[in-house]
Structure 1
Amino acid sequence: MAPKLQQFVSPGKGNGVQATASIRRGELVYSAKPLASCVSNKLSKEVCHHCFTRRETLLRCSQCKMARYCNITCQKRAWCDHKRECKCLRSLLPRIPTDSVRLAARLIFALLSPSENSSEELYTLEEHESHLSSMSEQKKQGLSHLASMLQLYLTQEVPVQEMTSALPPSCQEPLNLIAKVTCNCFTISDGELQEIGVGLYPSLSLLNHDCRPNCVMVFEGTNLQLRAVRDINPEEELTISYVETLSLTEDRQRQLEDQYHFTCHCQRCDSQDTDRLMLSGKEETQSLLKEALPKLEDLKAESNWQALLENCRHLLSTVGGDVPEENLYKLRMTDHAVDASIQLELWEEAVGYGKKTLPAYRQYYPDPHPVHGVQLMRVGKLQHYLEHIKDAFDTFRQAYEIIKVTHGDDHPLTADLLMKMKECHTEMDQHSSSSH
């Protein structure tokens, strides 16, 4: 682990990580490359399978037809990780295994040919929980299905005896391995915090969850950076949030139980402090919004932007002032309206909806939080595009105050924001000199 961190036993939680010295807000606490990672299936045509950059056009691997790369350089660099996977993918065509099966296979390939930097990490892979004993039969069955898929996927490339000789004892059984992978993998996101892949970062899986954590994780490519968002004292435990924190206590708790098999007793869950605000407004009116959300999610998944926007417009005008902007369901719907307006290039409408979300984001993400920073940045870009230069500058500045803490000075997103602020500054100067 990093110099200021050590593993310890966290009361009531098992393994955890605590500070051995003071850590300042905004400090980079730890950074790690993944032991194994892969681009999500649903984004496999949009994201380079080596550097995880989104691009309009990518080169496709001529053999498996699945992997895609920015250019020949990325393709060559990826080959040592991709060559075994390529054979496995070809053997199953046209079927493509799920993300967790591909990730587990990549983990096995990584363990079969360990690189020089993996020794420190592997020590903790062995200690990871599979949680099989606390799972429902239904969940175990789902995982068994994935485990047989994994065996089928690997038949061409990794004979069973090779697999057992190379893997630590607790990972030799495919079901155990798949259970560990699904409980301990991290979602890799891009600069806009959209999911692009999954990865295993064994040391960081030791971090425990809190619904108001003192650290956040951001990615640069597949490199994971852990940063403090509050000052942390020596011997204090470091925490991250495993789930989206913008949700009701019972929903967060249900997700944590289902996916990670524990009941959260953090201060935020015990006090349920934001639930009342999230459910503010007339009950029967907000239930309209709540019931409509699943359908809107489907329209978004189908990229049916026109229908999505029309539905949002109609519902938001129907509920009007009966439900305040801070209401969770209204906030989610307003967010969908922002996405749809941007896709349909209705910039004025997008900026109108975007501005409505900001007070709620400020309230629900009180610490510097990447989600709040990125939302401000989106609104700032819309204001800039519409030449509301002074507003854009102000919004970018607020975003920068957050992003420099959550992402650090040398992250591409921070550089992008500074660039945007400079552009606004120059435009405001030009405007004032031309009006004199």
Structure 2
Amino acid sequence: MDGKSVKRGQRILTEKPFAFVLKSQYRLERCDNCLEATKVRKCSNCRYVSYCNRSCQTQAWAQHKHECPFLKSIHPRIVPDAARMLCRLILRLQHGGDLIRGYYTEHGSRKFRDLMSHYAEIKNDPKRLEHLDSLHAVLTDMMADSPSTVPNKSELMSIYGRLITNGFNVLDAEMNSIATAIYLGVSITDHSCQPNAVATFEGNELHIHALEDMPCLDWSKIFISYIDLLNTPEQRRQDLKDHYYFLCVCSKCRDPKEARQMTAAACPNRKCSASINIEWNNCKRCSVGISPKLRNAYNEIMALTKHNLEAMKDVACKYLDVCKVCLDKQAGLMHPLNVWHVKTLDAAFEAAIEVGKWEEALDYGQQLLPGFQMYHGQWNPLVGLLHMKLGKIQLFERHHKEASHHLEEAQRILSVTHGRDHRLLVEQLYPLIFQARQEAN
């Protein structure tokens, strides 16, 4: 525990990864070391990884030299990201990594073995065991020329367990996952659906910023969110149980009001803005009745929305027409703060940007703000980025006053979540604010 008080926006931890792997889908367009999206050149030996310059290649060599022959041996096949990450962890541990400490205070530190492995839970989890078997097969194939490098099943399971329950998705400036990493020090932090700290990234470096004032830096009271908060408490709890093997008991998950709000229907009385439970017989505010026909229509659009959003989940380009159909059918049935309506607006906003329909994007983005603010909280990078995107579009559309408002809101939030010196602000946000002020005059 550090006796000094902590201010909102203060960076309380900066850490380099113990091990990390760029996602294979980006290996021809991002540097395998700094993760920068730029022109890259392949490693001349394995022809699998690429670097932006000689300096990055030299920095990466300490770890890459051990995996390079194994990647070369199976070229040109693509190695699953989890298999490459396991390979890197195995090699790191076999070359002294088991002694490395990640510090979260001047004296507080953690080694890889201090991370929870959830060995017992994984041993009784058929899906995890099947995944581990497939990764073991890949590693055995990769390391065929050095079979003794592959740990026994028990040791491999303990490494795998530490990876899946302590791994971070490394995010780019747009909050897209571009890599997987293990950070030793920050593994001290627990989860909350109402976090008081946030993890952001600059390249492969992790930063933790405080989201509220604290009397002192006590890591037992620092919480970050492990999951997407734009889900019902039931879904969040299930995600945490499936992935991290614990039941979340935070105040947000135990709040029945949030669960009701997230699945709320709109009152059939257009003059009433109340949110209703579709199973009720009438609205608690205006007493208008809820008919079986309305209930069926609501359940149908809920099912359609879930199906369409699931179908678009892993598609880079969201389908604007599909989003529009869902939004049209949701009108008058789903409350504006229904989480599935909010998710649809989010998909429509990104889809409209993708195809350059700026006025439509503005409309969706402005409708999206209340839901994002309610479910993500005021101090969240996604809320800051939404303001930044809205400001950027309004600047392009020459709505200078509105642009300035959103860009200044983005600055207020992102200064806390990322820090004033983060590249996202320095290279993107500050120039936009300057441009908006110049053009407003």
* TM bracket, shorter-chain basis: 0.7 to 0.9
Where does residue 168 of structure 1 map in the other structure? Answer: none
Looking at structure 2, the residues matched to 350 and 428 of structure 1 have their Cα atoms a distance apart, in angstroms, of 22
Match of 1:140 among 107, 129, 150: 129
Contact conserved, 2:7 with 2:212, CA < 8 A, in 1? yes
Relative to structure 2, which stretch is displaced further, 116-125 or 198-207? 116-125
Q: Does 1:95 align with 2:77?
A: yes
Asked if 1:389 is matched to 2:400, the reply is yes
1:301 alignment partner, SS class: coil
2:102–2:183: 8 Å Cα contact kept in structure 1? no
Of the candidates 206, 221, 246, which is equivalent to residue 237 of structure 1? 221
Given that 2:99 and 2:111 are in contact with CA atoms closer than 8 Å, whether structure 1 keeps it comes out as: no
Pairing 1:149–2:138 present:
yes
Deviation at 1:353, TM superposition (A): 1.1
Of 299, 311, 328, 1:298 maps to: 311
Judge conservation of contact 1:37–1:103 (CA < 8 Å) in 2: yes
Distance 2:18 2:308 in 1: 38
| 8 Å CA contact 2:98, 2:112 repeated in 1 | no
**Partner deviation per Cα, 1:302-356 (whole Å, 9 max, x = no partner):** 4455xx1111112212222322332111111111111211111112211221111
**1:253-297 superposed Cα distances (whole Å, 9 cap, x missing partner):** 001111111111111112244222211225543652443344444
Could you tell which deviates more after superposition, 331-340 or 195-204? 331-340
Q: Which residue of 1 aligns with 2:187?
A: 205
Per the alignment, residue 177 of structure 2 pairs with 195
- Residue aligned with 1:363, SS: helix
Equivalent in the alignment of 1:370: 381
Q: 2:435 is matched with which residue?
A: 423
Pick the aligned partner of 2:162 from 175, 180, 199. Answer: 180
Q: How big is the shift at 1:143?
A: 2.0
Hey, what's the Cα distance between the residues in 2 that align with 1:299 and 1:329? 14
- Mean alpha-carbon deviation: is it higher for 336-345 or for 292-301? 292-301
Tell me the distance in 2 between the aligned counterparts of 1:239 and 1:116: 26
Match of 2:201 in 1: 219
Distance 1:263 1:420, change over 3 A: same
Moved more, 313-322 or 216-225: 313-322
Which residue matches 1:260?
A: 244
Partner SS state of residue 114, structure 2: coil
1:371 deviation in Å? 1.4
Q: Supply the distance in 2 between the matched residues of 1:320 and 1:231 (Cα, whole angstroms).
A: 40
In structure 2, what is the Cα distance between the partners aligned to 1:424 and 1:120? Answer: 42
- Given that 1:84 and 1:157 are in contact with CA atoms closer than 8 Å, whether structure 2 keeps it comes out as no
Contact in 1 for aligned 2:348/2:361 (Cα 8 Å): yes
Change (3 A) 1:105 1:20: farther
1:368: Cα distance to partner? 0.9
Instruction: Indicate the larger mover: 353-362 or 231-240.
Output: 231-240
Could you give the per-residue CA deviations for residues 380-434 of structure 1, whole angstroms, max 9, x where no partner exists?
Answer: 11111111111111001111111111111111122232221111111111xxxxx
User: C-alpha separation between the residues in 1 aligned to 2:300 and 2:30?
Assistant: 37
Q: How many residues end up aligned between the 2 structures?
A: 402
Q: What is the root-mean-square deviation in Å for CA atoms of aligned residues?
A: 2.6
Which residue type is aligned with residue 85 of structure 1? E
- CA distance in 2: counterparts of 1:157 and 1:391, whole angstroms: 62
Of 125, 133, 141, the match for 2:112: 125
Unaligned residue ranges in structure 2 (runs of 5+): 104-108, 267-277, 279-296
Equivalent-residue separation in structure 2 for 1:405 and 1:312 (angstroms) = 32
Q: Distance in 1 between matches of 2:225 and 2:379?
A: 14
CA distance in 2, matches of 1:252, 1:177: 25
Tell me: CA distance 1:233–1:44, structure 2 relative to 1, closer, same or farther (3 Å). Answer: same
- When residues 409 and 286 of structure 1 are mapped into structure 2, their CA distance, relative to the original with a 3 A threshold, is farther
The answer for the alignment partner of 2:284 in structure 1 is: none
Tell me the TM-score normalised to structure 2 length.
Answer: 0.84
Could you tell me how far 1:61 is from its partner in structure 2? 3.3
2-structure distance, mates of 1:375, 1:96? 35
SS of match in other structure, 1:187: strand
Given residue 278 of structure 1, which amino acid in structure 2 is its aligned partner?
M
- Identify the range of structure 1 (202-211 vs 121-130) with the bigger mean alpha-carbon deviation: 121-130
Aligned counterpart, 2:413: 402
- Give the partner amino acid of 1:224: L
Matched, 1:107 2:96: no
TM-score (norm 1): 0.84
Q: Which of 300, 304, 317 is the equivalent residue of 2:328?
A: 317
Match of 1:81 in 2: 63
Q: C-alpha distance in 1, partners of 2:175/2:146?
A: 35
CA separation of 1:40/1:287 partners in 2, compared to 1, >3 Å: closer, same or farther?
Answer: farther
Return the alpha-carbon distance in structure 1 between the equivalents of residues 27 and 3 of structure 2: 41
Amino acid across the alignment from 1:86 = C
The partner residue of 1:39 within 15, 19, 22 is 22
- Find the aligned partners of 1:174 and 1:152 in 2 and give their Cα distance: 15
Letter of the structure 1 residue corresponding to residue 223 of structure 2:
T
What secondary structure, in the 3-state scheme, does the structure 1 residue paired with 2:321 have? helix
Superposed displacement of residue 117, structure 1: 10
Cα distance in 1 for residues equivalent to 2:160 and 2:99: 23
AA at the equivalent of 1:131 = H
After superposition, the Cα gap between the structure-2 partners of 1:370 and 1:272, relative to the gap in structure 1 and judged at 3 Å, is farther
Change (3 A) 1:287 1:369: farther
**1:141-176 CA distance string (max 9 Å, x none):** 322332343343334467339x79xxxxxx981122
Structure 1 contact 286–329 (Cα < 8 Å) conserved: no
The letter of the residue matching 1:423 is Q
Alpha-carbon distance, 1:62 to partner: 4.4
